[in-house]
Structure 1
Amino acid sequence: MEQREGYKRELYKHWNKGLDAGDGCDTRREVIISEAIKAPVVTAGCKLTGGSWLSPYDGVTVSDAGKLDVDHMVPLAEVHDSGGYAWDAGRREAYANDQGSPSTLIAVTAKSNRSKSDKDPAQWLPPAADYRCTYAAEWTGTKLRWELAADEAERQALLALAGECPTTTVVYGTAP
């Protein structure tokens, strides 16, 4: 059962010190660095210059890290609706900064992330049609990894996508 009551973005502390607390980069920047198709130069304070990225949601190549958002594959509001409302602060922070799975956090154009907002696959799909099968698998894997529920409209949308993606496999590991 999904429940939005009590949701506040601040409950999900995100962009903590990341995997390497000594590198000066927060989770957001670590994700951006890890997803570069051409590595940026990283200077003091984790300032990024150069580099390039492919935003899979819309197929846009970006050469300025400042034009990227790091999206939670399953948005924080949707996580809350789907079971995160019962989590303690530590588990919420763990989800919001999860780099243990390449699917939970993804660097995309700010425009595509804002278009998606907190919508589930029944309400929004990536404009890049060739990414939709991957998107559905990564969404499902993230939900399974974090033991989150799916409402009926979301479940039906994912089943329809699965029918269009017969060779796509959902891969996930258990969340910490």
Structure 2
Amino acid sequence: MIRSIAPALTAAAALLLVGPLSGCDVAARAIDGIGTPPSNHTAQPAGGGTAREAAQALVQLDSIPVKGRAPKTGYTRDEFGPAWADTDRNGCDTRNDILARDLTGETFKPGTSNCVVLTGTLADKYTGTTINFVRGQGTSSAVQIDHVVALSDAWQKGAQQLSADQRKELANDPLNLMAADGPTNGAKGDKDAATWLPPNKAFRCEYVTRQAAVKAKYHLWVTRAEHDAIGGILQGCR
């Protein structure tokens, strides 16, 4: 069952739909997206698995400023707006939009216009395992929605200078969101690529490509260690 989501796509999300070579095309072109309407949350995430994409992501990475990590002073989750706000105004909160995008065989709570996801199956990219999602106390946390670039990390690398609306967009941008294994997401916390990478090595090229795309789109920076970690992964993807 597919929901109708009316608002216009952002440039980045639209590019996510164009096919298997789209991952680093998104990375290369996403910079102009700030301030545009929130994108269609059913758009597929970026790729990142081909030599061409890796080469483009390396160019993207070199356009991102390299600076030291700023203090975490002043950071709270509230600085990025209400959690899982319905930014695209399709009647569903962002968490349910991403669950519906990333799960297969999903079922929905009756009377919610195919909005509230009750069950589904996740092919988890972080671990390479399959997880059965069942909504409920004690079960929902098995699948969590991860910010690919953690909000705390973003705060310390330029998001303090963004407007409140831009930070809210960052927190709800499909490019920066993916359903993931709950415990693995918890282990990641707010770490960047210098200190955490997905256990599933086959996903690392796409993971760092998406991190670079998000940081470029929202004019964030990377630390030297982070830059070198992302660059090292991308070199291996080639």
* Structure 1 position 137 matched with structure 2 position 200: no
* C-alpha contact (below 8 Å) 1:40/1:52 kept by paired residues: no
Q: Distance in 2 between matches of 1:113 and 1:84?
A: 21
TM-score, structure 2 as length reference: 0.64
Q: Does the alignment pair 1:19 with 2:88?
A: yes
Q: Which residue of the partner structure matches residue 78 of structure 2?
A: 10
Where do 1:97-116 residues align within 5 Å?
97-99=172-174, 103-116=175-188
Deviation at 1:16, TM superposition (A): 0.4
Q: Which moved more, 1:148-157 or 1:8-17?
A: 8-17
Worse-superposed segment, 9-18 or 42-51: 42-51
Q: Determine the structure 2 residue equivalent to 1:51.
A: 120
After superposing the two structures, state which structure 1 stretch, 62-71 or 117-126, moved more: 62-71
The answer as to 2:201 corresponding to 1:123 is no
The alpha-carbon deviation at position 42 of structure 1 amounts to 4.0
Q: 1:18 to 1:39 in 2, by over 3 A?
A: farther
Partner of 1:173: none
Contact 1:69 1:108 in 2 (8 A): yes
RMSD of aligned Cα (Å): 1.6
Partner of 1:151: 223
SS in 1 for 2:105: coil
Unaligned runs of 5+ in 1: 167-176
User: Which of 1 and 2 has higher RCO (CA within 8 Å, sep 6+)?
Assistant: 2
- Name the residue aligned to 2:98: 31
Give the 3-state SS of the residue equivalent to 1:138 in structure 2.
helix
The alignment's TM-score, normalised by the length of structure 1, stands at: 0.84
CA deviation after TM superposition for structure 1 residue 32, in Å:
0.6
Following superposition, which runs of at least 4 residues in structure 1 exceed 2 angstroms of deviation? 18-22, 37-50
Partner secondary structure for residue 51 of structure 1: strand
How far 1:39 sits from its partner (Å)?
A: 2.7
Give 1:161's aligned residue: 233
Percent identity over paired residues: 28
Distance 2:109 2:98 in 1: 13
Larger radius of gyration: 2
Shift of 1:50: 2.8
